[in-house]
């Protein structure tokens, strides 16, 4: 015979399928750059949102890199505006698809440094989980481009699930 105390009983009851999970997700932030890799991260987020009844927050960050060159002046404000409109149009298309799946979601387009905007929105919305794609740059590309995923993990106010471009999938396509 084994004596169980209250902590042991709680651990054993976690195997009960009717028991509530030990944590809950209310808001899941999914940064989207419209690459196949970021759409893959969204495919990971959808089952989490369904299971926990969580709201998905789709974020697209416009980062305008201005380089002066021999091509004349560039209207940065016009370029930024067009990039924001294009980003919102693509987010709206994803949102239409998600609405047909009966998911709670909202979309947001921001301008700035990608890492900062992801972390800022996570803080502002009290996000419970960020699901983020990584393109897996290594070597010189990593040094020159940096890693958004790495910096988000370092500064995020919540757990971050990183989805790699090529990996063993557990989410059906």
- CA nearest neighbour of 171 among 58, 57, 49, 53: 49
Per-residue pLDDT, 99:
75
User: Cα 111 from chain centroid?
Assistant: 16
Per-residue pLDDT, 49:
92
Calculate the alpha carbon distances from 18 to 6, 9, 13, 15, 21 in Å. 19, 15, 9, 9, 9
H-assigned helices in the chain: 6-13, 36-52, 76-99, 114-124, 139-145, 148-155
- pLDDT tens track, the chain, 173 positions: 445 555 555 544 545 455 455 778 999 999 999 888 888 999 999 999 999 999 999 999 998 776 555 666 666 778 888 888 999 999 998 888 877 777 888 999 999 999 999 999 999 999 999 999 886 555 444 444 458 888 899 999 999 999 887 665 555 55
Per-residue pLDDT, 143:
45
Per-residue pLDDT, 94:
86
What domains can you pick out in the chain, each with its CATH number?
Answer: 23-164 (3.40.50.620)
Beta bridge pairs of residue 105? 56
Per-residue pLDDT, 98:
76
User: Cα 45 from chain centroid?
Assistant: 8
CA dihedral 103, 106, 109, 114 (to 10 degrees): -70
């Amino acid at each position: 015979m084994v004596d169980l105390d209250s902590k042991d009983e709680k651990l054993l009851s976690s195997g009960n399928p009717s028991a509530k999970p030990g944590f809950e997700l209310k808001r899941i932030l999914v940064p989207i750059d419209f690459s196949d890799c970021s759409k893959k991260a969204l495919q990971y987020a959808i089952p989490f949102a369904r299971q926990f009844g969580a709201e998905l927050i789709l974020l697209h960050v416009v980062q305008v890199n201005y380089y002066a060159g021999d091509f004349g002046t560039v209207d940065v404000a016009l370029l930024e505006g067009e990039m924001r409109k294009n980003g919102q149009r693509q987010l709206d298309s994803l949102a239409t698809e998600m609405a047909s799946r009966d998911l709670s979601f909202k979309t947001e387009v921001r301008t700035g440094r990608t890492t900062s905007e992801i972390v800022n929105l996570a803080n502002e919305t009290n996000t419970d989980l960020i699901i983020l794609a990584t393109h897996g740059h290594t070597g010189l590309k990593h040094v020159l481009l940096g890693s958004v995923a790495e910096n988000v993990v370092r500064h995020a106010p919540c757990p971050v699930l990183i989805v790699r471009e090529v990996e063993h999938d557990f989410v059906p396509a």
